[in-house]
Amino acid sequence: MTDAGAGTGVSPDVTGRRIVVAGATSASGTAVCAALLEAGADVVAVGSDAGRLAELERRAPGITPEVCDLADTAAVDALAARLGAGGGIDGLIHLVGGWVGGAGIPGQSEEGWAAMERSFRTLRSTTRAFYPALLASPAGRVAFVSSVSVEAPTASGASYTAAKAASESWMRSVADGFRRDAESESQASGGGAAATIFVVKALVDERMRDASPEKTFAGFTDVRDLATAVLGLWQRPAADLNGARIRLPSRP
Ligand SMILES: NC(=O)c1ccc[n+]([C@@H]2O[C@H](COP(=O)([O-])OP(=O)(O)OC[C@H]3O[C@@H](n4cnc5c(N)ncnc54)[C@H](OP(=O)(O)O)[C@@H]3O)[C@@H](O)[C@H]2O)c1
């Protein structure tokens, strides 16, 4: 799409953007997809399971579902090439997660680390594959969700937090790439891309609240607030967002 605001310091808008939500079938993915659709974006929702994507489509009609194992780097490259051939990509919202814990450092299992490494690989593969399209976009944005545990790692969550710390480092490298490429004359067609880290303690949604009405979920971030933060990526200039680590609001 054309872009009056790109590269001028004026905030662009999400309307008409083509945005890939990677790992879209959880409650957070549903909230993000629904908010993006409502704001007028063209949403490509990616998950590994066709059944769960069909369920997402019932909850968020209008998405374009794509089945892809995002831990399979070749499959991610093929997906990015196929989507890129069909038009520009303006956003990548990475929501693939997973959690493992263990009894102290000796309890950090190989299986648990393998799962965390797979999760990190999905971030590395998707950002690498979609990087050229995001850079070429008038307002390319990529975001992933990290954890407060990176600031205070525990023994029991060592593998999980190590993968999140690696993911944050990778995202800062992506931000550095965007900054350097934006400065190069050869990328003058782009409007300024941004890589942003969101940080939460934990996420909560309506189903969790209904299942445990006695719980306060203090410090948790509602998935609707995550969705609002995603929309906000297209309400601020790239320079404000690129490399930023943003703690998302939580409700008391
Ligand atoms: N939930 C929390 O309390 C919390 C706390 C701190 C940080 N975070 C972070 O916030 C983000 C969203 O959290 P979440 O709990 O909504 O995430 P999640 O449920 O752990 O994962 C999101 C989706 O990723 C998809 N997925 C997993 N492996 C995949 C693969 N190989 N290829 C394609 N899709 C895959 C899953 O869908 P399919 O199985 O259908 O493919 C799943 O619905 C994550 O980065 C998470 O680490 C969450």
What distance in Å separates the CA atoms of residue 138 and residue 176, rounded to the nearest whole number?
18
Ligand 1 — pocket residues by CB below 6 A? Answer: 23, 25-26, 28-29, 47-49, 52, 69-71, 95-98, 122, 145, 147, 200, 202-203
Residue 83 belongs to a domain with what CATH number? 3.40.50.720
Report residue 252's pLDDT band, with 50, 70 and 90 as the boundaries.
confident
Residue 157 has pLDDT above 50, yes or no: yes
Q: How far is the CA of 80 from the centre of ligand 1 (A)?
A: 20
How many structural domains does the chain have? 1
pLDDT digits (tens, 9 = 90+) for 105-139: 999 999 999 999 999 999 999 999 999 999 999 99
* Max intra-chain CA distance, the chain: 57
Let me know if residue 223 belongs to a domain.
Answer: yes
3-state secondary structure of 92: strand
Let me know if residue 3 belongs to a domain.
Answer: no
| CB of 211 closer than 8 Å to CB of 232 | no
On whether the pTM is more than 0.75, the answer is yes
Cα dihedral 84, 50, 231, 3, rounded to 10, equals 20
Whole-number pLDDT of residue 184: 84
Q: Which of 2-16, 39-53, 180-194 has the weakest average pLDDT?
A: 2-16
User: Which residue did the predictor score with more confidence, 185 or 22?
Assistant: 22
Phi and psi at residue 78, in whole multiples of 5°?
-65, -40
Let me know if residue 8 belongs to a domain.
Answer: no
Q: How far is the CA of 98 from the centre of ligand 1 (A)?
A: 6
Domain that residue 86 falls in: 18-247
Let me know if residue 6 belongs to a domain.
Answer: no
Q: How far is the CA of 189 from the centre of ligand 1 (A)?
A: 33
**Atom of ligand 1 lying closest to residue 148 CA:** 6
What sign does the CA torsion over 135, 136, 139, 144 have? negative
Which mutation among 33, 48, 79 tests ligand 1's pocket best, with the greatest number of atoms within 8 A of CB? 48
Residue 1 has pLDDT above 50, yes or no: no
Burial (CB < 10 A; 0-12, 13-18, 19+), residue 103, is exposed
Whole-number pLDDT of residue 236: 93
Let me know if residue 167 belongs to a domain.
Answer: yes
How much is the mean pLDDT over the chain?
93
